[in-house]
Structure 1
Amino acid sequence: MPMSQSPPHRSVVIAVTSHQPDSVIRTAAWLARSLDVELVCAHVDTSAYVVEEHPDGTVEARPLDPDAQEWICAQFDPELAARIDRLVGDQGISVRTVELAGEVARAIARLAELVRAELIVVGTRSGVRASVREYFSGSVAVHLAHRQTIPVVVVPLTAHAEGPLPWEDEQ
Structure 2
Amino acid sequence: MSNISNPARPVIVGVAPGQPPQVVEQAAHFASRFDAELVCVFVDQARVPITEGADGSVVSEPIDPDYSDPSEDVFDSALAASLEQLLKETGLQWRTLVLAGEVSVALGRVAERLDAAMIVVGTHRRSAGGGLQEFFNRSVATHLAHRQTRPVVVIPAHAPVPEFSHPWREG
- Give your verdict on TM over 0.5: yes
* Cα deviations by residue, 1:56-113 (Å, 9 ceiling, x for unpaired): 1000000011110252771111111111111011111100100000000000000011
In the alignment, does 2:140 pair up with 1:140?
A: yes
- Aligned partner of 1:68 in structure 2 is 67
Number of aligned residue pairs: 165
State how far apart, in whole Å, the 2-side matches of 1:49 and 1:66 are.
11
Shift of 1:133: 4.4
Shift of 1:136: 7.0
Whether the aligned pair in 1 keeps the contact of 2:126 and 2:134 (CA below 8 Å) is no
State how far apart, in whole Å, the 1-side matches of 2:82 and 2:141 are.
23
Q: Tell me the TM-score normalised to structure 2 length.
A: 0.87
Percent identical among aligned pairs is: 41
Counterpart mapping for 1:1-171 below 5 A: 6-71=5-70, 74-127=73-126, 129-135=129-135, 139-158=139-158, 161=160, 164-168=161-165, 171=171
Shift of 1:140: 0.8
Whether the aligned pair in 2 keeps the contact of 1:42 and 1:100 (CA below 8 Å) is yes
* Cα deviations by residue, 1:3-24 (Å, 9 ceiling, x for unpaired): x970045100000001101111
Segments of structure 1 that go 5 or more residues without pairing to the other structure are none
User: Structure 1 stretches (4+) deviating beyond 4 angstroms?
Assistant: none
SS in 1 for 2:68: coil
User: What is the alpha-carbon root mean square deviation over aligned residues?
Assistant: 2.3
More displaced stretch, 133-142 vs 21-30? 133-142
